[in-house]
Copies of this chain bind each other. A is one copy, B any other.
Amino acid sequence: MNRPTDKAVDAPRACFIAAGLDVLGERWALLALREMSLGVHRFDQIARNTGASRDILVGRLRTLENQGVIERVQYSERPPRYEYHLTTSGAEVAPILISLAAWSSTWMRDETPRASYRHSCGADLKPVVSCAECGEEFTPGSLMLGPLVSAAGTDPPSDQ
């Protein structure tokens, strides 16, 4: 009763981009991760530097913690106070932030002055994305759909 071509009224594409956005795509999430990448770990400073309201920021940080992207590290007993730190998973968000910063500094050409980014070597941010397998640079259009998978092909990296 179900030939392979039967699509149940065309459900939205379930792909890893959509899944990633479920975690990282909520408002303020990536900016909070940006702060931690830059060495800012405390609630008040993250709130100030991102501009997020404190209440929704609490929600985002909890979601990111539940997803294993960040972790709370207690730095005071009385009163209990926590710092927010990137896990391995969170640290690996960097390429997303880098690509975003690079795209933005190329294409957002208006008058407003903004903080730019650079590589630790001192050079302006010019990331090159290439395929680990063939070494070729990714060109627009070289991203293609692959098969459906449940857990990524090979090794599950254990966090921390």
Contact = CB atoms under 8 A, between A and B. Distances in A.
Interface of A: 10-21, 23-25, 27, 30-31, 34-35, 37-38, 48-51, 68-69, 86, 89, 91-121, 123-134, 136, 138-153, 156-157
B143 A97 contact: yes
The 10 A-B pairs at the shortest CB distance, nearest first, are namely A12-B51, A20-B104, A123-B133, A91-B140, A126-B132, A15-B115, A116-B146, A16-B104, A95-B99, A120-B142
**What is the total number of copies of this protein in its complex?**
2
B25 A25 contact: yes
Given A17-B30, A131-B123, A146-B125, A100 B109 contact: no
A102 to B, nearest CB: 7
Given A111-B151, A118-B146, 16 more contacts: A14-B114, A15-B101, A15-B114, A15-B117, A17-B34, A17-B97, A18-B31, A25-B30, A37-B143, A92-B140, A116-B153, A117-B144, A117-B146, A125-B146, A126-B132, A127-B130
